[in-house]
Structure 1
Amino acid sequence: MSMLSERQKEELQKSILEYLHANNFTDAFNTLKAETGLEYTPDPKGKYVGLLEKKWTSVIRLQKKIMDLENRNAALQEEISLSPAKRASLQTDWVPRAPAAYVLTGHRNQVTKVAFHPTFNLLASASEDATVKIWDWETGEFERTLKGHTRSVTDVSFDSRGNLLATCSSDLFIKIWDVQNEWKNTKTFSGHDHSISSVRFMPGDQQIVSASRDRTIRIFDVASTHLVRTIIGHSDWVRWVEPSDDGRMLASCSNDQTARIIDPQNGETKTELRGHEHTVEVVAFAPLAAYAAIRELAGIPNTERSKRPGAYLATGSRDKTIKLWDTQSGQMLRNLAGHDNWVRALVFHPTGKFLLSASDDYTIRVWELATGRCVKTVQAHGHFVTCLAWGRQAPSQSGDAAKTNGVGDGHQEVEKFVNVVASGSVDQTIKVWLP
């Protein structure tokens, strides 16, 4: 009160007296009048009627204005702090969020797979329209169409340097396209007796491995196109095959509701992973960077410090679940439930903190590996999401070095990955997700 002038004091006291009188607080009115020694006669038309309320509401309005300004200021501060330089430093934990940066249109049927070039800003997409399309993911521009297959193209995969692109199709052929030489189709492999679902380069790029509806997995020599080995183990359509980083294991999955860990040298099944209640659509080996989080999730003691590639595997199934496995014991470590439809694609976050999944429920989900919680759901497409890929992980010259150094914490690798994700859908579009 000491900050008020005598006139303001008197005005305030009379406003309070008027308020007390108007609200029939007679005792309070008389007490205040006696204590202040003010001569005041209430007057229904006087200047003090409603004055206290007016002043009070104007204070509240000012407070609201101040709060709005403070919020706006905080938002602007955050925007400034997220300048490109700051943004890059905060990006290691980036995960996709709507809306997508680009929606790539051009395919005339559903998109089946997407793959990033390991060094250039290129993305390859395969479709049931029998073509492969090449896009520049930085600009969202279409580059070219690769024609050669006569039926649905089911998978696309670059070699480690990005010199060659392998594709496979329901037309029973695998094709190799020479990226340096105008993307010419330089090799065609035959050998499967039914639709081919999956193709990958083996580490070292000397061989490719494929999986088919003929229930087999086959390994071919890239240079000669000769069949090196036929692996029989699954009792039904083999949906996906994936080599471990060191090439010492293959993971595969099938309509027979199992996933398998196979020795590519002799074709023997090392471990059979049983637990899904429907077709297993996809397998993904966990990167070394994810080991710590997976061990925390599964309660595996910290004494386990193995840096062996291929120790853990994620599987996604039509039973709507994702399961994490120990590949050596075949033990299921965790079941991740949350999708409302088939799980079609899985990709580990390069930091090893998250697992991303795509599903026929139109979403991409982000799972925190250390807790097993779904921390984000992105409404991704207007139809089933069929495929998902993370952008290039590291410049090619350090690719092998980073792997053989066994960077367990993933520090070295994490520095070099590029934040970009692509998804494809039955809605015939590819979406590019960028920070």
Structure 2
Amino acid sequence: MVLTGKQREDLHQAILEYLSGLGSTFAQSATAFQQDAGLTMTGESDPTKTGLLEKKWTSVVRLQRKVMELESKIQQLEEDAKLGGIVSRRDVTGVTRDAALLPRAPPKYSMSGHRSPITSVVFHPVFSVVVTSSEDATVKVWDFETGEFERTLKGHTNAVQNVAFNPAGTLLASSSADLTIKLWDFSSDGSYECKKTLRGHDHNVCGLVFSPSGDHIVSCSRDTTIKIWEVETGYCTHTLKGHSDWVRDVCVSEDGLYLASGGNDRTITLWDLQQAKAIQWMREHEHVVETVQFAKGIQQTAIEAIHGKKVAETTGQTFTRYLLSGSRDRTVRLWEAFSGLLLMNFVSHDNWVRSVRFHLSGKYAISASEDKTIRVFDIETGRCVRTLKDAHNHFLTTLDVHPTLPLIVTGSIDKFVNVWECV
């Protein structure tokens, strides 16, 4: 690149200003450069040149970062176009289309602080907070609007496997390989202290979830059992037995009447919580079932509009509950839980699927995998309409979707927590 005479003179003057501004550190260099460049230094510095070199340098860094972001977005748009997916909320004529907000690279924030792999992430239902758990035996609290770390919750003596908020966001539950579940005070005037420790499982406590009322917690464990706990007293009111191996994950339906569980026995079990018994089994997965998730609210309505007729014609049922599952067989599957009917089998991942969530609209399934990708699947067509490649530098382990905002958060073995915007 060739500079004009004026540009070269300004550059030399800026370099001289920079060297002179460092005092005695580069005094000899400044003198030598001044002589070689044929410059004169007046008694007063030129305010237009002061700090110019630093400003140019930081501007270049910012521009490089912006260029990288734009290149990433262009690549994503090209992939979307190839897949026939949603490219933008406006078409080339500027007319707004009815498009869902899907996660897009790069991440808004990439937060680090854990000393071991991330095991779980969860958004607070009210505040701009995301909570993470890790194999380092800690729970950490972050502000997802700023990307800043807030605090660490300590108390577990082994890897923390999962974290979950009650519907009001006033309590956080954490489960651990130390065989306990801890309840933390997250009320507005709370101290973030551990209020209770629940004991009863005989092995690693993995999945856990609050009931919609917030009165109970459901947990699952490597001891092959599922336990239902009363939040107020900390007592275990029921122990559900039915799985023949490690139970990896549990979820509760929106009405609080049904529970789904999945685990190492490759089975998804549907439970009637009022009767405390299993009522349906889904066994099509070919490997460990890592994750299960019920559709709720508008999600249930959207899926019913797409698949309800098929369910009714196939099973005769009109009362439905839709369920997502992810497995080490590299698939994500959509089920009607009462009938056990497999509706969709999403095949695209190249490694274990570790976490699945419904998109807020219910029209998409979002998954995180050990192939280092986040994928978005169309519930109706079964196509993968969005892939975020190399979402982390190592296996993805966990994913959560914000209950109201267009955000998702992921965690990985690389010890980082990434917040992604949906646009």
Structure 1 runs of 4+ with >3 Å offset: 89-92, 290-299, 301-308
**CA–CA distance in 2 between the matches of 1:168 and 1:337?**
31
Matches within 5 A, 1:4-403: 93-180=100-187, 181-291=190-300, 294=303, 298=307, 300-301=309-310, 311-379=321-389, 380-391=391-402, 393=403
- Deviation of the 1:302 alpha carbon: 9.5
Q: Which amino acid aligns with 1:387?
A: T
Q: What are the Cα deviations for residues 191-225 of structure 1, in whole angstroms up to 9, with x where unaligned?
A: 00000001111111111110000000000111111
1:426 partnered with 2:413: yes
**CA–CA distance in 2 between the matches of 1:109 and 1:358?**
19
Q: Is the 8 A contact 2:259 2:273 kept in 1?
A: yes
**CA–CA distance in 2 between the matches of 1:319 and 1:373?**
18
SS of residue paired to 1:200: strand
Q: Which amino acid aligns with 1:174?
A: I
**CA–CA distance in 2 between the matches of 1:306 and 1:288?**
19
Distance 1:349 1:307, change over 3 A: farther
Distance 1:292 1:220, change over 3 A: closer
**CA–CA distance in 2 between the matches of 1:311 and 1:166?**
26
Unaligned regions of 5+ residues in structure 1, if any? 1-80, 394-416
SS of residue paired to 2:299: helix
Q: Which amino acid aligns with 1:254?
A: G
**CA–CA distance in 2 between the matches of 1:239 and 1:119?**
27
Q: Which amino acid aligns with 2:290?
A: E
**CA–CA distance in 1 between the matches of 2:145 and 2:382?**
32
Q: Is the 8 A contact 1:239 1:281 kept in 2?
A: yes
Q: Is the 8 A contact 2:344 2:379 kept in 1?
A: no
- Deviation of the 1:288 alpha carbon: 3.9
**CA–CA distance in 2 between the matches of 1:274 and 1:216?**
18
SS of residue paired to 1:361: coil
Q: How many residues are treated as equivalent by the alignment?
A: 325
Q: Which amino acid aligns with 2:412?
A: S
Distance 1:290 1:371, change over 3 A: farther
Deviates more, 1:294-303 or 1:360-369: 294-303
Unaligned regions of 5+ residues in structure 2, if any? 1-88
Q: What are the Cα deviations for residues 284-326 of structure 1, in whole angstroms up to 9, with x where unaligned?
A: 1123433465456658359899996x61111110000111111
**CA–CA distance in 2 between the matches of 1:148 and 1:123?**
19
Q: Which amino acid aligns with 1:258?
A: T
Q: Which amino acid aligns with 1:273?
A: M
Q: Is the 8 A contact 1:320 1:337 kept in 2?
A: yes
Q: What are the Cα deviations for residues 106-137 of structure 1, in whole angstroms up to 9, with x where unaligned?
A: 00000000011110000000000000000000
- What percentage of residue pairs aligned between the two structures are identical? 46
- Deviation of the 1:97 alpha carbon: 1.0
Q: Is the 8 A contact 2:302 2:361 kept in 1?
A: no
SS of residue paired to 2:350: coil
Q: Is the 8 A contact 2:264 2:288 kept in 1?
A: yes
Q: Which amino acid aligns with 2:211?
A: M
Distance 1:277 1:336, change over 3 A: same
- Deviation of the 1:265 alpha carbon: 2.3
Distance 1:425 1:91, change over 3 A: farther
Q: Is the 8 A contact 1:344 1:385 kept in 2?
A: yes
SS of residue paired to 1:93: coil
Q: Is the 8 A contact 1:293 1:370 kept in 2?
A: no
Q: What are the Cα deviations for residues 255-291 of structure 1, in whole angstroms up to 9, with x where unaligned?
A: 0000010112232111000101110000011234334
TM-score by length of 2: 0.73
**CA–CA distance in 2 between the matches of 1:233 and 1:364?**
32
Q: Which amino acid aligns with 1:94?
A: L
TM-score by length of 1: 0.71
